[in-house]
């Protein structure tokens, strides 16, 4: 194999590695996942805001409900005591007065409970609606994460095979030329060599000047000039 063919094979190997590496980092599922994550962040913020509005109303409702239940229990106890009491008239009057006062408090407490319930219901609906919107997105996120992990594992296996093949192709290039190639690869990325296509370096896509193009065409076989723009070794 000629030096030119060996460099071309190495160039193609590096270009394939670059393509697969780029594919691994730019899967369509990753773009969808990023959009989904943004939507979920918006829903989380909306949920937090809704819960901030909901929380004090729910606490007040629960307090009013518990107070109404306490007053109701106390009222039943007093009614039972009054029905079964053998106390004197003064004690019975005191119990009756307390029972009437307690029923008044219970009425107010129940009114307050109902008022808070009516205030709480639309707040609960907002929270439930946000959670309902989030559920399919959460399921889709989990699905996408699994798909991305599987695809990246497959691409990692392909990259490992490509790098092994790259190592074999690099071994076919002379040490001196490989050093020049690797230096250009570090500088330019993707590959350390490029082909001249219609007077342009197909690595950086910059046209060679007429002088550089003539110089490149007249090089002795097996010698290579670097692209004046990107530094890649120019192949015929």
pLDDT at 85 over 80: no
| Residue 13 counted as domain residue | no
pLDDT digit string (tens) for 6-44? Answer: 999 999 999 999 999 999 999 999 999 999 999 999 999
The whole-number pLDDT of residue 27 equals 96
Q: Model-level pTM?
A: 0.74
**Domain of residue 164, residue span:** 23-172
| Residue 105 counted as domain residue | yes
| Residue 17 counted as domain residue | no
The whole-number pLDDT of residue 82 equals 79
pLDDT at 88 over 90: no
Q: Mean pLDDT throughout 199-223?
A: 93
Higher pLDDT, 83 or 224: 224
Number of domains observed in the structure of the chain? 2
CA distances from 22 to 84, 137, 143, 152, 153 (A): 87, 27, 22, 11, 14
Q: Are residues 158 and 71 in the same domain?
A: yes
pLDDT digit string (tens) for 142-195? Answer: 999 999 999 999 999 999 999 999 999 999 999 999 999 999 999 999 999 999
Q: How confident is the model at residue 222 (pLDDT cuts 50, 70, 90)?
A: confident
pLDDT digit string (tens) for 105-129? Answer: 999 999 999 999 999 999 999 999 9
Q: Are residues 85 and 184 in the same domain?
A: no
Q: What distance in Å separates the CA atoms of residue 146 and residue 154, rounded to the nearest whole number?
A: 13
Q: Are residues 80 and 183 in the same domain?
A: no
Q: How confident is the model at residue 87 (pLDDT cuts 50, 70, 90)?
A: low
| Residue 78 counted as domain residue | yes
Q: Are residues 136 and 182 in the same domain?
A: no
Q: What is the DSSP string of 194-230?
A: EEEETTEETTT-PBPPHHHHHHHHTSPTT--PBPTTT
| Residue 96 counted as domain residue | yes
The whole-number pLDDT of residue 83 equals 80
| Residue 128 counted as domain residue | yes
Share of the chain above pLDDT 90, in %: 85
Q: Are residues 100 and 193 in the same domain?
A: no
Q: What distance in Å separates the CA atoms of residue 169 and residue 3, rounded to the nearest whole number?
A: 11
Q: Are residues 145 and 43 in the same domain?
A: yes
């Amino acid at each position: 194999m000629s030096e030119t063919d060996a460099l071309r094979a190495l160039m193609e190997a590096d270009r394939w590695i670059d393509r697969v590496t780029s594919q691994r980092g730019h899967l369509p599922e990753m773009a969808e996942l990023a959009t989904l994550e943004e939507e979920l962040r918006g829903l989380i913020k909306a949920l937090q805001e809704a819960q901030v509005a909901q929380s004090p109303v729910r606490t007040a409702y629960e307090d009013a409900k518990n107070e109404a239940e306490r007053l109701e229990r106390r009222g039943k106890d007093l009614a039972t005591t009054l029905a079964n009491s053998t106390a004197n008239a003064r004690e019975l009057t005191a119990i009756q007065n307390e029972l009437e006062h307690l029923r008044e408090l219970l009425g107010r407490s129940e009114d307050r409970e109902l008022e808070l319930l009516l205030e709480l219901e639309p707040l609960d609906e907002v929270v439930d609606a946000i959670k309902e919107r989030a559920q399919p997105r959460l399921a889709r996120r989990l699905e996408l994460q699994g798909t991305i992990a599987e695809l990246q594992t497959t691409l990692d296996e392909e990259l490992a095979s490509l790098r092994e093949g790259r190592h074999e192709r690099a071994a076919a290039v002379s040490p001196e030329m490989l050093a020049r190639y690797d230096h250009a690869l570090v500088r330019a990325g993707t590959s350390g060599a490029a082909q001249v296509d219609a007077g342009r370096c197909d690595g950086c896509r910059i046209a060679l000047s007429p002088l550089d193009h003539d110089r490149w065409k007249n090089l002795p076989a097996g010698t290579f000039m670097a692209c004046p723009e990107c530094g890649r070794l120019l192949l015929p």
